[in-house]
Amino acid sequence: MQTFIMYIVITILMSAVLIGFGAPFIAIAMLVYRATATRLSGAMRLGVACGIAALGIAPCYDAYGGPLPIYVRLLRGEPVNFAAAAIAVVVTWIAFMVLARLFSRRRPAHA
């Protein structure tokens, strides 16, 4: 349990680095969200956009506990455990979905 909490704290403290590396994915997610306004429902658009952003930010930890996005480790040629990477992407996607729902603007219904 202590190790799990340590990884959570490290990830929160290093979130600026993860977001910096994930900026291109976040930009693509925003473009996809806006481009699919007429094609997909709101929840589906949000899920796709959060999934794209999660692919760019999902952390992968090295031997010293330092998080870097999975795609950075793959581009460097470092070994990445597929199961751990899949879990990281899913957990990051869920976290983005929750945050997006919490911070989304509530629009009044038109009568």
Is 111 among the domain residues? Answer: no
> Residue 10 and residue 66: Cα distance in Å, rounded?
8
DSSP, res 4: H
Is 28 among the domain residues? Answer: yes
Q: One digit per residue, pLDDT tens: the chain, 111 residues? A: 888 898 889 888 988 999 999 999 999 999 999 999 888 888 899 999 999 999 999 998 887 778 889 999 999 999 999 998 999 999 999 999 999 888 877 666 665
- Residue 76 is predicted with a pLDDT of 92
Contact 49, 32 (CB under 8 A): yes
- Residue 94 is predicted with a pLDDT of 95
> Residue 55 and residue 51: Cα distance in Å, rounded?
6
Is 108 among the domain residues? Answer: no
- Residue 65 is predicted with a pLDDT of 77
> Cα 59 to chain center, whole Å?
9
Contact 53, 88 (CB under 8 A): no
> What are the beta bridge partners of residue 68?
60
Structural domains counted in the chain: 1
Provide the domain limits for residue 89.
2-103
Q: How many CB atoms lie within 10 A of CB 28?
A: 15
- Residue 109 is predicted with a pLDDT of 61
Q: The whole model's pTM is what?
A: 0.82
- Residue 30 is predicted with a pLDDT of 93
Nearest of 106, 111, 55, 42 to residue 85 by alpha carbon: 55
Is 11 among the domain residues? Answer: yes
Is 83 among the domain residues? Answer: yes
